[in-house]
Amino acid sequence: MSERTIMDTKAIGGCAPEAAICARGIARDFEAGQSTIRVLHGIDTDIRSGEMTYVVGESGSGKTTLISIMCGILWPTEGEVKVFGTDIYKLSDTDLVNFRLNNIGFIFQQYNLIPSIDVASNAAVPLIAQGVPREEARERAKVLLDKLNIGNQADKLPRQLSGGQQQRVAIARALVHEPRLVVCDEPTAALDASSGRRVMDLLREVAVAPDRACIIVTHDNRIFDLADRIIVLEDGRVTHDGKEMPDDH
């Protein structure tokens, strides 16, 4: 895979048909008191299927803002985002929600599992939301929990599991409906080093597929070696885009 620079990306102009995400001219302003602050400055980037793409950068550089826009939960101030060819911010509110439900899996830093339903039901939430009958949804979730080595915990409540195990439940929930795009914001931030590493190894194993794109925001330099591609953000601009981390980091 060739090294790319911002220049290269811009030069492409239109969207490559095989791009999972094609973001063009993404800018985002936030109101801060009287003034508005621009936290993303015209970002152009493509995310490809079959790869694990890391978005890294200092705190406040705009990583979360960028992936939120790329996965359809935060409106950009400027620019457009096509996800698998669909210009998602031109969809109606309801269509966008359903687009996320059918195409995107989410993994959050705080897991955000529902405490009062068991692990299998938590992992089955996207299927249940799609209208799959509960028992069938749970069976499909259990298959995935098995793959993530927590099949024997399926009937427990989330609080009975360790942090690493809970994050694996969250991974199962993100993948259970076989989305074509998976986004994770700091998936290992709440975990100690070794369980973080184990979770990421597993994620790589189950999430990466030829027809699936996977974006991970992380600070955690111990897991950079798992990336197929690393995008570095600095003050809302892409300053590096390549297989390895740049030497000055």
Partner 1 sequence: MIWIAIRMLTGDAQKFYGLLFGIGFSTLLITQQMTIFVNLVERGASGVYNAPEAEVWVMDPVSRTTDVSYAMPGTALDKVRAVEGVEWAVPHLRAQATVRTKEGDLEGVGVIGVDDATLIGLPARMAQGDKAVLFAPDAVVVDDTGALRFFPPEVNPIGERLELNDQRAVVRGIADAIPSFTSTVVLYTRYSNALNFVPGTRNRLSFVLVGVADGQTPEDVADRIEAETGLKAETREQFARAGVDFIIENTGIPTNFGITVLLGFVVGIAIVGLTFSLFLRDNIKQFGALKAIGVTNAKIVQMVGAQAGMVGLIGYALGVIGTVAFIKGFGANPFFKGFYIPWQIPLISFAAVVIILSITGLIAIRSVLKTEPASVFR
**Comparison of 120 and 233: residue with beta carbon closer to ligand ATP:** 233
Q: Which does 59 bind (CB under 5 to 8 A by kind): ligand ATP, partner 1, Mg ion, none?
A: ligand ATP
- For residues 203 and 184, the answer to whether their CB atoms sit within 8 Å is yes
Contact map string, positions 17 to 56, toward ligand ATP, x by CB under 6 A: -------------x-x------x-----------------
The 3-state secondary structure of 11-67 reads HHCCCCCCEEEEEEEEEEEEEECCEEEEEEEEEEEEEECCCEEEEEECCCCCHHHHH
Q: Which stretch binds partner 1 (CB under 8 A): 1-9, 105-113, 188-196, 203-211?
A: 105-113
Q: Which does 231 bind (CB under 5 to 8 A by kind): partner 1, Mg ion, ligand ATP, none?
A: none
Looking at the DSSP bridge assignments, the partners of residue 26 are 43
Residue choice 2, 34, 59, 94 for contact with partner 1 (CB under 8 A)? 94
196 touching ligand ATP, by CB under 6 A:
no
Alpha-carbon separation of residue 39 from 18, 36, 63 (angstroms) = 28, 9, 10
Helix (H) or strand (E) holding 78: strand 78-83
- Residues 79, 210: Cα–Cα separation, whole Å: 28
- For residues 97 and 149, the answer to whether their CB atoms sit within 8 Å is no
Count the site residues for partner 1 by CB under 8 A: 31
- For residues 138 and 120, the answer to whether their CB atoms sit within 8 Å is yes
27 touching partner 1, by CB under 8 A:
no
Alpha-carbon separation of residue 175 from 61, 90, 188, 192, 201 (angstroms) = 28, 26, 17, 23, 15
Residue choice 112, 149, 152, 160 for contact with partner 1 (CB under 8 A)? 112
Looking at the DSSP bridge assignments, the partners of residue 36 are 31
85 touching ligand ATP, by CB under 6 A:
no
What is the footprint of Mg ion within residues 62-121 (CB under 5 A)?
64
What residue ranges bind ligand ATP (CB under 6 A)? 30, 32, 39, 57, 59-65
What residue ranges bind partner 1 (CB under 8 A)? 64, 67-68, 73-74, 94, 97-102, 104, 106, 108-110, 112-117, 121, 125-126, 128-129, 134, 173, 185
What residue ranges bind Mg ion (CB under 5 A)? 64
